[in-house]
Amino acid sequence: MPMRRWFLHGGFGLVLAVTLGVAAFTLRLAGVPAASAAPARAASGVAEDAEDGRSANGEAEASWRQAVVEPPTATRVDAVGLEVWAARELTLRDGAAAGLGVAFPRIAPGALLAVVSFDAPWTDYRGQRIAPGRYLLRYAVQPEDGYHVGLTFYRDFALLLPPGEAPVAPVVGDEAALVEASRPASGHHPAVLALWPADGRAPDERFDNDLGQPVLVLAVGEERVGLVLAGTGEIEE
């Protein structure tokens, strides 16, 4: 009798095990991972990342740090702390840009100017709210399309782009893609900081421009570029 009971219970257990195994195999064929397999894969992925010592964010940071000069220039405007890393090199045009109101006609559109970090919410030159964090600054010239009249004395701007996961190129050649890449910084219109001439001024010097706005002098290559740290322009759209 005990032997018979053992066979009955053992047979039932064997049938149950086979049934569960077939079900799990069927689910995997259907593209649904078995519940016990998911944690194993997750744990494996974490271990691999830790072993490599790399991540998408880590690679992005290493990329932009290779493109800038250390240490950064630290400054404050009101209650917000900023750090600004000037680019090591500046990509120039083959020839000077044509057009009125361009203060830096030799700089190539999309050229990396600097990296800026805000430790609190910020307001760009259009009055848009910018979240704290780090952004690439790339050179751009506002269009002569009638929608940007009266924004500033000069048409030169720095577009704010989140660093992202791609290597930081010295220049972005596609201006339309460059503008689109800046939209996430504000969630709407491309985020911008105005640029101002700074000839004859020392690197890291701060001065007030003709509008009373604080400007930080960046030494990028052989150029002295004035980055307007705060203030907004009159926007007519």
117-166 pLDDT, tens digit each = 999 999 999 889 989 999 999 999 887 655 444 456 788 999 998 887 66
Same domain, 63 and 176: yes
Q: Which residue has the higher pLDDT, 15 or 138?
A: 138
User: Residue 57 — very low, low, confident or very high, per pLDDT cuts 50/70/90?
Assistant: low
CA distance 63 to 29: 41
Residue 237 covered by a domain: no
Residue 28 covered by a domain: yes
Residue 69 covered by a domain: yes
Same domain, 169 and 207: yes
Same domain, 145 and 107: yes
Domain boundary among 38, 53, 68: 53
Q: What is the pLDDT of residue 97?
A: 64
CA distance 97 to 37: 59
Same domain, 132 and 190: yes
Residue-wise pLDDT tens digits, 62-94 = 789 999 999 999 999 999 999 999 999 999 988
Domain count, the chain: 2
pLDDT at residue 42 is higher than 70: no
Same domain, 111 and 204: yes
User: Residue 49 — very low, low, confident or very high, per pLDDT cuts 50/70/90?
Assistant: very low
Residue 217 covered by a domain: yes
Same domain, 49 and 66: no
Residue 45 covered by a domain: yes
Residue 196 covered by a domain: yes
Same domain, 159 and 212: yes
Same domain, 28 and 89: no
Q: What is the pLDDT of residue 58?
A: 62
User: Residue 52 — very low, low, confident or very high, per pLDDT cuts 50/70/90?
Assistant: very low
How far is CA 50 from each of CA 47, 53, 74, 82, rounded to the nearest angstrom?
5, 5, 32, 31
Averaged pLDDT, 194-212: 93
Same domain, 20 and 61: no
Q: What is the pLDDT of residue 20?
A: 35
How far is CA 206 from each of CA 89, 104, 217, rounded to the nearest angstrom?
21, 19, 6
- Out of 102-106, 188-192, 214-218, 221-225, pick the least confident: 188-192
Q: Which of 61, 227, 90 is nearest to 152 (CA)?
A: 227
Residue 23 covered by a domain: yes
Q: Which residue has the higher pLDDT, 32 or 212?
A: 212
Q: What is the pLDDT of residue 187?
A: 66
Q: Which two tokens stand for residue 223?
A: 């150029």
How much is the pTM? Answer: 0.70
The residue segments making up the domain with residue 156 are 57-228
Whether omega for the bond prior to residue 71 falls within 30 degrees of 0, making it cis, is yes
pLDDT at residue 35 is higher than 90: no
CA distance 194 to 159: 9
Same domain, 79 and 169: yes
Residue 236 covered by a domain: no
